[in-house]
Amino acid sequence: MKRETQNVLVLLLGLGVGVMVVKGAYLHYVKPSLMPWLLIAAALLIALALVCIVRDIRSSGIQTHETHDDGHRHGGGMVWLLLVPVVLIAFVIPPPIEANGAAPVAAAQPHRRAFAALPAERAPVVSLPEAVMRAATDSAGTLDNHLITVSGFTLIRDGGVDLGRVVIVCCAADAQLARVHLAGPGATTAAGYPEDTWLRIEGTVVPGSASAAASFVPTMTVTDVTKIDRPANTYAY
């Protein structure tokens, strides 16, 4: 690969990362906390490419024009093809991973520990992954007989309905599906919505339901169901 092509490739890579950050498409791949590092990486790549391009132009001088005239015109077309990924990133944003693209949370025996008490509210908002973790590993029983509010998308499973969220630890490559099984009178209402409908539900986790026999998926007795808009960022962290 010619040096000029290498410089253009590095420049386009930096621009592509910058475009993803500006458009917010990076949230489909990594956690929001990684945005500063992506900006730094994009800036360094662009700066490195520009420095190399300027240095090559100054060092080659008139020879650059002569070399171009001596039969290297055909190489320019391949360089311009490198613009295709940048154009795709700028105008085609892939959707985030859905439930069918995420692996279920591993059903290994969890290590139990005491969690902090929930806020003293009627139905505090708890992220769905945290509710799953508390139900399976909390030795203090902070969810027992405690009304909570969780949100997620509906999943139809064996005639029943679950509420799920796609969780990423670092990036989309490690995406996992966290879910709770819905029961009680509110579950019938939730099951009436099409799959992949986003809901906010109030209810209580059935004590001991997150067992090995249930693959540590807790059951939640639902008392209230509200349809909500799909969030801009569908991942949980």
- Tell if the pTM clears 0.85, that is, is over it: no
For every one of its 237 residues, what pLDDT tens digit does the chain have, with 9 covering 90 and above? 577 777 777 887 888 888 888 877 787 777 788 889 989 988 998 898 888 888 888 877 645 455 454 544 555 556 566 667 666 666 666 677 776 666 666 555 678 889 999 998 999 999 999 999 999 999 999 999 999 999 999 998 777 899 999 988 777 777 788 999 999 989 999 999 999 999 999 999 999 999 888 888 999 999 999 999 999 888 888
Strands 176-183 and 219-227: parallel
**CATH 2.170.140 assigned to 100-227:** no
| Domain range annotation of the chain | 3-94, 100-227
**Nearest partner of 127 among 96, 98, 149, 97, judged by Cα:** 149
